[in-house]
Amino acid sequence: EGWKGMFPEELGAQEDVRVSFNKCLLMMNAAVSGEDLSPYDPSKDKLQRERGRKAPASEQQNRAEFHATLKDLVENFCIESGVEFLPKVGRFNNSLQVYSFGGISVTLDNSRQVIEARIQGEWVAVSLERLLAESKRQM
């Protein structure tokens, strides 16, 4: 069930909410993979409105603001995947808090939208899928 189970069932039954959840997951995967995030830029909706074009009615209804940090997205991924995600108190790398992701040391750079993990003695950018695979390999 994971993080989606934290929301009322009626909310999850709404198509717009399911679409928004899926968009968030796609954006999270794109962010950690280093892909271009411009397709997820909410200012494009604003530009579209300013130019006089309206978004389809289905997109306009029940639109809610959602501002998640990279940490929020990683925490939700961990909850959904059943992986422990905790801060390592007093541990920093390049001025960023170090976390334990299933036993792997990671940092989250929200400004660059990058996750770095200490793998084989080096800090490298990783996707959530790779982190999940690495954490399962260590078990």
Query: How does DSSP classify residue 17?
Result: H
Cβ atoms within 10 Å of 124's Cβ, excluding its own: 11
Question: What DSSP assignment string belongs to 19-73?
Answer: HHHHHHHHHHHHHHTT---GGG-THHHHHHHHTTPPPPHHHHTT-------HHHH
- Do the Cβ atoms of 126 and 119 come closer than 8 Å? yes
Q: Name the burial class of residue 97, with classes exposed (0-12), middle (13-18) and buried (19+) by CB atoms within 10 angstroms of its CB.
A: middle
Which of the pair, 23 or 44, is modelled with greater confidence?
23
The pLDDT value recorded for residue 61 is 45
Which of the pair, 130 or 1, is modelled with greater confidence?
130
Percent of the chain residues topping a pLDDT of 70: 78
The pLDDT value recorded for residue 60 is 47
Which of the pair, 17 or 116, is modelled with greater confidence?
116
Cβ atoms within 10 Å of 9's Cβ, excluding its own: 7
pLDDT in tens, 24-80: 777 777 777 677 777 777 666 555 555 555 555 545 444 445 567 889 899 989 998
